[in-house]
Amino acid sequence: MASGLAIGSLPFLKANSAKAQNSHPFGIQLYTLRDIIGDDPKGVLKQLSEFGYNQIESYDGPMGIYWGMGHKGFKEYMDQLGMTLISSHANVSEDFERKVDEAAEIGVEYLINPYVGPQETLDDFKRITDQFNKHGEIANRAGISFAYHNHAYSFELLEGEYPQDIMMQGTDPDLVDFQMDIYWVVAAGEDPSEWIEKYPNRFVLSHVKDLKNGDNPESVVLGNGTIDFAPILKIAKENGMKYLIVEQEAYTGTTPIDAARANATYMKGLTI
């Protein structure tokens, strides 16, 4: 992971932040609220809708993807709030076909593998790529899509190559999509825009997550870090990005719900 990057020293880091009205819908990954959502899932979701989030991305947590409501109950509550569950991170090694069928039944578009971890060799990543294609086939048969969410490790050289290249080149574009976590690409010292342009129409979802550089880079409220999102997301939209999903993993000086509120305000004012 790269650290200590100077603000403005790289093209994808910001010098100034311009704001204007942005009509593009945006969502939030519920992992942002992981410390509080289990106590009152419906109450937290209602607050998120009031903040202006149009879309939800869930995750396979202790209460399951649907937070104790079942897939149909969750869909009904989303409808009441005027929100859409567009995707979920999922443990794809357990009951994947059941999860696919439930997601398809309520119109979820994507199930996402959130993490495979660093590997020792490129051959290890090639084997993972083969598994991605198999998961994509299962999802495709049910009428939904499978995607992979990156961390920094796939954007760090291994045996002279980037594992991210191995995974993108080895997967069938009709079966496997990708979710770019912009934070982790920048943390690895790479330019998100360059990767998006290198693989047009493959990064169809994003995690919009800001990074505060230093000896210990951390996730911060959007606009308080170093990433210049406006040009990145503009290029992303031009190259097939469909969903902009806010995520925050650390809360220094704030709370999960206050961070979600502030991030929604930022997204409403972001020029893209």
Q: What is the DSSP string of 194-237?
A: HHHHHSTTTEEEEEE-EEE-SSS-EEE-TTSSSB-HHHHHHHHH
- Whether the pLDDT of residue 190 is over 70: the answer is yes
Domain-embedded: residue 10? no
**Phi, psi for 243 (deg, rounded to 5):** -130, 130
CB 207, CB 182: distance < 8 Å: yes
Confidence of residue 11 (pLDDT cuts 50, 70, 90): low
Q: What is the pLDDT of residues 196-220, one digit of tens each?
A: 999 999 999 999 999 997 667 899 9
Give the integer Cα–Cα distance in Å for 133 and 128.
9
pTM of the model: 0.91
pLDDT of residue 10: 63
- Whether the pLDDT of residue 187 is over 80: the answer is yes
Angle between helices 96-105 and 70-81 (to 10 degrees): 40
Question: Domain tally for the chain?
Answer: 1
CATH number at residue 236: 3.20.20.150
- Whether the pLDDT of residue 12 is over 90: the answer is no
Structural domain containing residue 208: 89-269
Confidence of residue 14 (pLDDT cuts 50, 70, 90): low
- Whether the pLDDT of residue 156 is over 80: the answer is yes
pLDDT of residue 19: 40
pLDDT of residue 24: 87
Domain-embedded: residue 205? yes
pLDDT of residue 17: 41
Domain-embedded: residue 75? no
Q: What is the pLDDT of residues 106-152, one digit of tens each?
A: 999 999 999 999 999 999 999 999 999 999 999 999 999 999 999 99
Can you list the alpha helix ranges (DSSP code H) found in the chain?
41-51, 70-81, 96-105, 122-142, 163-170, 182-187, 192-198, 229-238, 256-269
Q: What is the pLDDT of residues 43-90, one digit of tens each?
A: 999 999 999 999 999 999 999 999 999 999 999 999 999 999 999 999
**Helix (H) or strand (E) segment spanning residue 239:** none
Q: What is the DSSP string of 248-266?
A: ----TTS-HHHHHHHHHHH
Domain-embedded: residue 135? yes
Query: Alpha-carbon torsion 45, 181, 223, 250, what sign?
Result: positive
**Phi, psi for 55 (deg, rounded to 5):** -130, 150
Residue burial 186-197, b: 16+ Cβ < 10 Å; e: rest: bbbebbbbebbe
Domain-embedded: residue 107? yes
Strands 145-149 and 210-212: unpaired
Domain-embedded: residue 211? yes
Give every CB contact of residue 84 below 8 A, 6+ residues apart in sequence.
Answer: 54, 55, 56, 78, 107
Domain-embedded: residue 78? no
10 against 67, higher pLDDT: 67
Q: What is the pLDDT of residues 236-262, one digit of tens each?
A: 999 999 999 999 999 989 999 999 999
Cα separations (Å) of 272 from 176, 193, 225? 26, 13, 18
Domain-embedded: residue 167? yes
pLDDT of residue 8: 45
pLDDT of residue 23: 62
